[in-house]
Structure 1
Amino acid sequence: MKKSKGFNNKIIAITRPIERAQSAVKIVKDNRGVPLVVPTLELESFPSQSLMNLCRIAGKLDWIIFTSPASLESLFKYCENFKEELNPDCQVAVIGPRTERFLDDYGLKAEIVPENYTAEGLLDEFQEINLQGKKIGVPRTFKARDVLPEGLKKMGATVFLAEAYKSTQPKDTSKVELLVADIIKGKIDAITFTSPLTVTNLFEIAGNKREKLIESLKERKIRVAVIGPITQKPLDDLKIKSISPSKYTVKAMLDRLMEEIDN
């Protein structure tokens, strides 16, 4: 049986926000790769008016849905008594196991964790639940897709969207510009993306090197890995081939990338 070489000293670029990159770094290192963390996305929490409004109506909520650890952390940062003020009958849904682990830290339990870690997966879980007239809080970034809130409204729910954090391009783009140059020069072996914005921001920051960047990634000398089909779409639109795991997690994405590199 062939023994896996792991990443075999290949340089793996990680584009996710720096505070979310630790698990990917560890996996790459543990499998004999060289992680290169270059965030193309920054997360900035802030006490928006909509988030403060969500805090004030905590006692009236029937459900609250967390679609990322960042939304959860921001809510509890600016609404320290949220758990105490929450309607005791309020139920919680999260988009996946990573967010569920963060939820545990705040002493809350998720009633729903979909098998498909997407907005569509969450909506599938709610199909069997009567949401008519139910009040649902959804703290998130306003750059997120509207699939979830619109789907919940169609099921009869009143949705309270709250801007919990902003997803922005890095204030200092110099490292991303260097990454673009290294990709064009073929100095990177693989690049990973964990959200559509990590993709689109890279190409926006590339500026006048955008077309060369696209050409370099199309050549397939540099392998491109994404966490799932939603992240894959902006690459598909550019006709850049990428690999995606069947399970939408960072570990599954890197395992799939390892298989590709080892072949």
Structure 2
Amino acid sequence: MTKPKVAVLRPDDDRIEEAAKYLRSAGVSPVPDPMLTICPTGQSPQPAEYCIFTSPTGVEHAVEQGWNPDGETVCAIGRQTAAAVRNYGYSVDVLPSTFTSAGLVEELSNEVGGQFVEIARSAHGSGELVQGLENAGATVHETYLYRLERPITAGRSISSAVAGELDAILFTSPKTVEHFLEIADDRDLDFELRRQLSGIIIGAIGAPTERALIDKSIRVNVKPTSVGFERLADHVIRKVNE
């Protein structure tokens, strides 16, 4: 029996290797297509009353640049981000019950008025977090710790999709959606790709990724309520095997 083929779009580091390994262990044939290259900016978070991290990658680069909490309230969006902070030996003071920018804004809205808030993240975050905190009366500064660029080798998933070889695609960030469609456009394959996508299970790792797909008129079949690659993979594989 032929195993289902599932494309996975992750950064070109150990995460793509771990994702492919997990998919193989789950009984499917992975089509790994590294869709992001992480490019550090060399910047470090500024001192503030509140310091917000939105991803484990941001935590890693902040620590590499010498970040060391000194009395600020440390906030993390998502369990994985919180775990990254704790793995470096630091405490997380605020972890919103809803792992989104809106969830953190709701958590902090009654306490950040008149406070200086530092957001340490990628250069591609949405404005929702900044706007929400400013509306709550905070002075907000962003430090871009890294940028996400498109690897020159990316595109295997587009070729496989157009050839009718894929059963599912796992999108793991809004930027993977953007790069995926940019490659299709560069190759003049957008029309054929979209035609094939109608028969492929599309999985999105969270609400921002889901919105990015919907904004590009791509329907989403699977979006787990909690964020995490393994949860996404499990749900998509279950859908493929229905």
Cα contact 2:54–2:121 (8 A) shared by 1: yes
Matches of 1:35 and 1:115, distance apart in 2: 32
Question: Which blocks of at least 5 consecutive residues in structure 2 are unaligned?
Answer: none
Matches of 1:217 and 1:250, distance apart in 2: 21
Q: 2:125 aligns with which of 144, 154, 166?
A: 144
Q: CA deviation at 1:22?
A: 4.5
TM-score (norm 1): 0.84
Cα contact 1:16–1:39 (8 A) shared by 2: yes
Cα contact 2:31–2:157 (8 A) shared by 1: no
Greater gyration radius = 1
SS at match of 1:192: strand
* TM-align CA RMSD: 1.9
Matches of 1:251 and 1:168, distance apart in 2: 24
Q: CA deviation at 1:116?
A: 2.2
Aligned position for 1:229: 207
Matches of 1:24 and 1:114, distance apart in 2: 26
Q: 1:120 aligns with which of 102, 105, 112?
A: 102
The residue correspondences of 1:194-209 to structure 2 (distance < 5 A) are 194-206=172-184, 207=186, 208-209=188-189
The residue correspondences of 1:38-187 to structure 2 (distance < 5 A) are 38-48=33-43, 51=44, 54-55=45-46, 58=47, 61-79=48-66, 82-83=67-68, 86-88=69-71, 90-127=72-109, 129-170=110-151, 172-173=152-153, 175-176=154-155, 178-187=156-165
Cα contact 1:43–1:166 (8 A) shared by 2: yes
Matches of 1:145 and 1:132, distance apart in 2: 21
Q: CA deviation at 1:136?
A: 1.4
Q: Name the aligned partner's letter for residue 34 of structure 1.
A: S
SS at match of 1:260: helix
Matches of 2:137 and 2:120, distance apart in 1: 19
Matches of 1:126 and 1:21, distance apart in 2: 34
Q: CA deviation at 1:260?
A: 0.6
Task: State the Cα deviation string for residues 42-69 of structure 1 (Å, max 9, x = none).
Answer: 2111214xx3xx34xx2xx211110011
Q: CA deviation at 1:27?
A: 2.8
Cα contact 1:214–1:238 (8 A) shared by 2: no
Matches of 1:100 and 1:139, distance apart in 2: 14
SS at match of 2:189: helix
Matches of 1:10 and 1:250, distance apart in 2: 18
Aligned position for 2:226: 247
Question: Which blocks of at least 5 consecutive residues in structure 1 are unaligned?
Answer: 1-7
Alignment CA distance shift 1:146-1:237 (3 Å) = closer
Matches of 1:14 and 1:94, distance apart in 2: 25
Q: Return the structure number with greater helix share.
A: 1
Task: State the Cα deviation string for residues 97-151 of structure 1 (Å, max 9, x = none).
Answer: 1111111121111122223221112112213x41112111111122110111111
